[in-house]
């Protein structure tokens, strides 16, 4: 009885992974972005920001496209 339940659960998870591997990966990425864990990539390094009066680096997330500016 116990062993049979375990087997059914394994089969269900296998089906989900087999059907939508890409969608699952995308969903995982979006979840990370929503939680604030972006995959930042330097878009423009050490650019002079007139407003702040100092050098800043522009970052963009490769998954959701969000940008942030960080002072050097």
Q: Sketch the per residue contact string, 12 through 51, with Zn ion: x for CB under 5 A, - otherwise.
A: ---------------------x----x-------------
* 64 contacts Zn ion (rule: CB under 5 A): yes
Q: Is 50 exposed, middle or buried (0-12, 13-18, 19+ CB in 10 A)?
A: exposed
Neighbour count for residue 38 (Cβ, 10 Å): 20
Shortest separation between residue 61's beta carbon and Zn ion, angstroms: 3
Mark the segment that binds Zn ion (CB under 5 A) among 6-14, 18-26, 43-51, 64-72.
64-72
- Report yes or no: 68 and 59 within 8 Å, Cβ to Cβ: yes
CA distance 66 to 39: 10
Shortest separation between residue 2's beta carbon and Zn ion, angstroms: 42
Contact residues: Zn ion, CB under 5 A: 33, 38, 61, 63-64, 66
């Amino acid at each position: 009885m116990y062993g049979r339940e375990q087997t059914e659960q394994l089969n269900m998870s296998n089906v989900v992974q087999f059907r939508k591997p890409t969608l699952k990966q995308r969903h995982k990425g979006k979840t990370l972005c929503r939680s604030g864990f972006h995959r930042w990539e330097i878009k423009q390094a050490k650019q002079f920001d007139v407003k702040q009066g100092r050098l800043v680096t522009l970052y963009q997330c490769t998954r959701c496209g969000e940008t942030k500016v960080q002072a050097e």
